[in-house]
Amino acid sequence: MEALSIFYTLSTADTLEVKPTPSTYYRDVKKYFKPYNLHPSLNWYRNLKNWDGPDMASIGLFLSQKYPFKLIIQPEVNYVRNSSVDSFLYHFNAFYKECNVAKFIKKHEADYQKINIKAEFVIGESGILNDIKAFYNSTSTGEFMMYTDALCNHGSNAISSSDKQFAGKIISKVGYIEDKSKKID
């Protein structure tokens, strides 16, 4: 999901009204990928008639875990609406390989863990899951799966799937809202 979010952000950041949250992570993304700003795959996406929404990165849950990425589960939501999924994946895979996205992600694994731990703590402390139980006036057993999208501050989105491997799971992609570091550029 993070590689997809990087692709989307780099393709659209200069045009978005709501830019990613200023953060040390966003600074690192801009710095690392600056030499690739005119990569043909990013330009291909920029030149589409319309762009997908920031929830497009959610399709990552349905892709293979390793490069080259392939669709392995058919999502119930069409996250890539402005080209065929095959065409999108062709360009995304080229970007991933040629811009050495794996190296960037590996370098930031500790950052992702820190963000996820903090987000899980804040969600637990907020009591929001209890509010959801009260709203629906029911309880259920299951697992809450959260995927942090460190570049998306547009909010969160639920990810639905009837695929049996997700049975009993509540899946959500959560946007990154704040960085209190003093070193933000």
pLDDT in tens, 70-129: 999 999 989 898 899 999 999 999 999 999 999 999 999 998 888 888 878 887 888 877
Please give the residue that has the higher pLDDT: either 45 or 166.
45
Q: How confident is the model at residue 154 (pLDDT cuts 50, 70, 90)?
A: low
> Can you give the pLDDT at residue 83?
94
> Can you give the pLDDT at residue 155?
64
What pTM was estimated for this model as a whole? 0.86
Q: Are strands 169-175 and 143-149 parallel, antiparallel or unpaired?
A: parallel
